[in-house]
Amino acid sequence: MNTKTIFITFLLILPHVKAQSKDLIVSIGSYAPFHIAEYDYIDVPENEAKGIFIDVIKQFAKQHPEYSLHFRAYPVLRSIRMTGTGETIDIAVESPLFVKEGTLNHYDFSEAVVRTKDVVITNSKSQLTYKSPKDLYNKTIAVIKGYKYGEFDTLEKAGKIRYQALETHQRALRFLQRGSADAYFGNIHVTPYYIKKNGMNRSEFIFSKKAMLEFDLAFLVKKDLNVLSKLDEFIRKIKKNGALNKIITKYIE
């Protein structure tokens, strides 16, 4: 085969050669509506991986086909351990406020995607208005079993307030709805998601104007993947053009 034939053959084959995309392992869990997956399997089919952050990263990958996403569901403690050592996970969701020791040796934070708040939620028929912890003295608060609530845990141990610990957000909302609790410690994104999922009406509940805690949520991105600057640019873009707000609205309204 002469040089000319080889060159022509190369030109014919070239259009059919696809560039290899970079595989990215995205960790998801059960922090709805930010990321939603069951723990029945580790590898999560793309159509079953859902949530605000998952929709954002999927849209990012559509605009950047040089990356291929693979979603994996890990229990919370395992995910924390893995990001603390830089093991396997390329992208996760976390708050700079709660990041664990060792994680930032292996990961950088993206721009904040969502700023959220934990608040005190009451039944719309209640006369209780939360402005300070003292407003909750001698009250029964629906909380999620296993969660921590900072200074309110101290007040509960001192007998100033009473906790009714429940297994799920759905049960806590039902508990508050029927008047079995005076208030519920919820979140301005998480709670509306479960109100919607339960078929309840948002008007049945009042969210305190004063926050118990306010914090950012962002992507943890493994260092040296050549992803972070592109992802930050994409986040700024969807904030500006309203696409991010549409994603959030889909899950909570």
Q: Return the structure tokens found at 69.
A: 């996403």
Task: Please state, in angstroms and rounded to a whole number, the distance separating the CA atoms of residues 88 and 208.
Answer: 40
Which of these ranges, 25-29, 52-56, 58-62, 118-122, has the smallest mean pLDDT? 25-29
Rounded to two decimals, the pTM is 0.89
The conformation of residue 34, written as its DSSP 8-state character, comes to T
Which 3 state secondary structure label does DSSP give 225?
coil
Task: Please state, in angstroms and rounded to a whole number, the distance separating the CA atoms of residues 24 and 199.
Answer: 36
Task: Please state, in angstroms and rounded to a whole number, the distance separating the CA atoms of residues 101 and 50.
Answer: 28
pLDDT in tens, 168-186: 999 999 999 999 999 999 9
Task: Please state, in angstroms and rounded to a whole number, the distance separating the CA atoms of residues 46 and 58.
Answer: 9
Mean pLDDT over 83-91 rounds to 95
Mean pLDDT over 134-139 rounds to 98
Q: Which residue has the higher pLDDT, 123 or 29?
A: 123
